[in-house]
Amino acid sequence: MMKAPGACGGFHLETTSLVDGPNAIMSIDLPPTSRLQAVFADEDPGILRGVAWVKRFVERWLADDRLRAAYLAQPDEVAGEHRVPRELAGYLHANIPLLASGNLVLRAYGRYLKRRMEHRAEMRRECAPALAPFRAWRERQMSRCQDQLPDQYNEAILHLPVAFELSKGCSVGCWFCGLSAARLESVFSASPSNRKLWRETLEVVREVAGPAAGQGIAFWATDPLDNPDYEIFCQDFHQILGRFPATTTALGPKDLDRAERLLRLSWANGCDFNRFSVLSLAQMDALTAHFSPESLLYVDLIAQTRSSLTPKAQAGKAMEKGENAPALVSSEPSTIACVSGFLINMPNRSVRLVSPCAAGPRWPMGYRVHASSSFINAKELRDEIARMMADVMKTAPPRDRPVRLRRDFKNPDRLADFSLSELAVSRLNQGCVTGTELALELESEGVPMAQTFHSLNGLFDQGFLDDEPEPEGHEMHA
């Protein structure tokens, strides 16, 4: 069993190699503490241990309908069995605020959750790309999503600048996959030539996104542990982009020793958090038998069981199931997409520019594809990304093409700051005139052209103007 971390959540790792052979991962010794773990460095170790037990219980409670029923019937007895404060029932059953609790452990758990939310907000800010056109385009996608998606989904989306796929397809086959992952076909091995391409690819992304590239992830419609060389690629990622990528995997319970080695490696390189997607109570049993509560304090167990209280996003395969879904699905279209940037598949040598959206017939997997291409080497990737940015990431609305408000824009009060006449709003809803034509028409009504272009620029910057691309054929029928 993995030993519990100290008060700051860190581990002392012996100096050993995790992978043998020419691609061996470098030995690890005296790992640093991540930013998230450092926040709790001064917390009393006993209190922090109690927080870890509360976290474990809440994750099980969310996943297990039998535990919820038992806890409702006999809260004190169940609390004693699971080593959690009896007052926790007030939070789970009556939504009593944790920070107002008289119990020290529950107040600390409230601080833990609050800090996790603050940390997510920090990460979202750190995902802003270095290049101004990329940064402004991402901000427009974020503004659009604020209008289109439910709050709980918006709060979860980081709008990462990049995601990589190190395999083609996924072996897990979740019925609810929001990205409709295909069956696993191949993986990108860490051969010398592939390793060279991978490192050069990371360098291209660093040029485009700057330090924000380090917030990227190395999975998408894949499970990272399908690739036996995943840890090697993560080491390269850390060396070139400055961060060790966070991992979300459903394969942890199938190889607990590998999962433990990966967690240790990630913490040794300062990774803030990881996640295990838990598909069954048997998998949760395996994880909690192998790992102590303290060792998973910075690892989320995402309840994807059939009795989970966490609804599946209505996107991809879950949306296809409709009323036949075997578990709770969100009542409104949603998404699990988290990237407003580049999606790079290494086995296919493909690159796409994507952004989240509410899933529907037009974009069934909950993300738009603004541009796509392929590449053979890093130079081609650099050129294709530059072309995509020039074509898509405009700094102002085009004056020679029709402009219109987004089709889903339903709150005219939000246009008040732009001093638009009824005629201007009508034309923008119709989408039948270019920016220049609109400016000329409004000039005849006494509105200076400069004022019209200023208003259009403001609408563009706020993400109010329609920039939805036409779906690719495979996106419509995935």
In a domain, 339, yes or no: yes
* 309 and 419 housed in the same domain: no
Residue 355 lies in a domain: yes
Task: From 337, 363, 391, give the residue that closes a domain.
Answer: 391
Q: Is residue 299 part of a domain?
A: no
pLDDT in the model for residue 473: 52
Residue 54 lies in a domain: no
Domain contains 287: no
User: Do 313 and 421 sit in the same domain of this protein?
Assistant: no
Residues 219 and 336 occupy one common structural domain: yes
What is the residue type of 132?
A
Residues 237 and 136 in one domain: yes
Q: Are residues 352 and 458 in the same domain?
A: no
User: Which of these three, 333, 361, 391, is where a domain ends?
Assistant: 391
Q: Are residues 225 and 140 in the same domain?
A: yes
| Final residue belonging to a domain, choices 375, 391, 407 | 391
Q: Tell whether 355 and 408 lie within a shared domain.
A: no
CB proximity list for 374: less than 8 A, separation 6 or greater: 348, 349, 350, 351, 384
Do 170 and 192 share a domain, yes or no? yes
- Supply the pLDDT for residue 35: 76
**379 and 355 together in one domain:** yes
The answer to whether residues 335 and 212 belong to one domain is: yes
Tell me whether residue 458 is in a domain: yes
Flag residues of the chain having pLDDT under 50.
Answer: 3-32, 474-478
Pair 246, 365 in one domain: yes
Q: Is there a single domain that holds both residue 219 and residue 328?
A: yes
Q: What is the pTM of this model?
A: 0.89
According to the model, what pLDDT value does residue 33 have? 62
Cβ atoms within 10 Å of 410's Cβ, excluding its own:
9
What does the angle CA 390 – CA 242 – CA 190 come to, to the nearest 5 degrees? 85
Other C-beta atoms closer than 10 Å to the C-beta of 385 total 25
Residue range of the domain that includes 406 = 396-478
Domain count, the chain: 2
Cα–Cα distance for residue pair 423/426, rounded to 1 Å: 5
Residue 415 lies in a domain: yes
> Per the domain annotation, does 109 fall within a domain?
no
Q: Cβ(158)–Cβ(124) under 8 Å? A: yes
